Amino acid sequence: MKKSYLTLLLLPGLVFLAAFMVIPILLTVGSTFYHEGRFTVEGYLYFFKDPYFLKILWTTLRVSLVTTAICMLLGFPTAYFISQQSPRKKALLLALAIFPLLTSSVVRSFSWTIILGKKGLLNNMLLSVGLIQEPLNILYTPTAMMIGLIHLFLPLIIITLVGVMENIDTDLVKAAESLGANRFAAFCRVVIPLSVPGLIIGGILVFVGSLTAYTTPALLGGKQQVISTFLYQNAITLNDWYLASVVATIMMVITFVIIMIMNMLANKLNPKG
């Protein structure tokens, strides 16, 4: 079979993506520059001059970045441990790691309200052992949002990292050790650098997921809005689809910028690059 025929196989997928993703996104972005019959950037100026919106944006970025960082820190050792197991154990452990993804985020967020509440599990425990005198105020704060998001997205980074780590040739570690590196040095100078691509891809997944998450912030966050709940308010309650599209475009641009930055970092850190 000729190669040119093979590219035809791409066609159904491409048509689908074009019709249901590329064109709608272009239309959304396009509509933000054309309002009430003329070209305009007013929508963007409106938002970026508005301290209230900037505060929402900042909270969202902060929550997403912290969530990503903590997911990386927690996910890395877990993934390394899993990747070192026998195939059977690995399958079992991965299934366990992924298990939370199989329940809906609504259910998970509700469970957290029971754990984190003023009369919740956590506060009751801390109060009864005398660590605190007054119940901690966690639920309905950005911290609660982060906890929910970490629970939601940790499996994503674990899956990606395990995929990358098990492809690291164990001979490389052995070689490093035979050349005088201790286990820790071998881990730091061989395993970590080679895992960077997985860390970056996982990080991007977590970051984008946190940035766009709606259910978890809506249920666990308090008075502080994030960008997705703000978008929902504009679109559904105010019925202002123009401003909602502007917010959506801003979200997309932020996502792309962050992905680019992470890729650049990855290229710098990757020993092959």
Q: What minimum distance in Å lies between the beta carbon of 114 and other proteins? A: 7
Nearer to other proteins by Cβ, of 114 and 188: the residue is: 114
Return residues touching other proteins (CB under 8 A).
52, 87, 90-91, 94-95, 98, 101-104, 110, 113-114, 117-120, 139-140, 155, 159, 162-163, 166-167, 222-223, 225, 233, 236-240
256, amino acid identity: F
Residues 6+ positions from 5 with CB-CB distance below 8 Å: none
Nearer to other proteins by Cβ, of 166 and 177: the residue is: 166
Nearer to other proteins by Cβ, of 163 and 193: the residue is: 163
- Could you tell me the maximum CA-CA distance found in the chain, to the nearest angstrom? 75
Q: What minimum distance in Å lies between the beta carbon of 171 and other proteins? A: 15
Nearer to other proteins by Cβ, of 114 and 261: the residue is: 114
Q: What minimum distance in Å lies between the beta carbon of 195 and other proteins? A: 14
Taking each helix axis from N to C end, the angle separating 51-83 and 142-165, rounded to the nearest 10 degrees, works out to: 40
Q: What minimum distance in Å lies between the beta carbon of 238 and other proteins? A: 6
Q: What minimum distance in Å lies between the beta carbon of 235 and other proteins? A: 9
Nearer to other proteins by Cβ, of 103 and 270: the residue is: 103
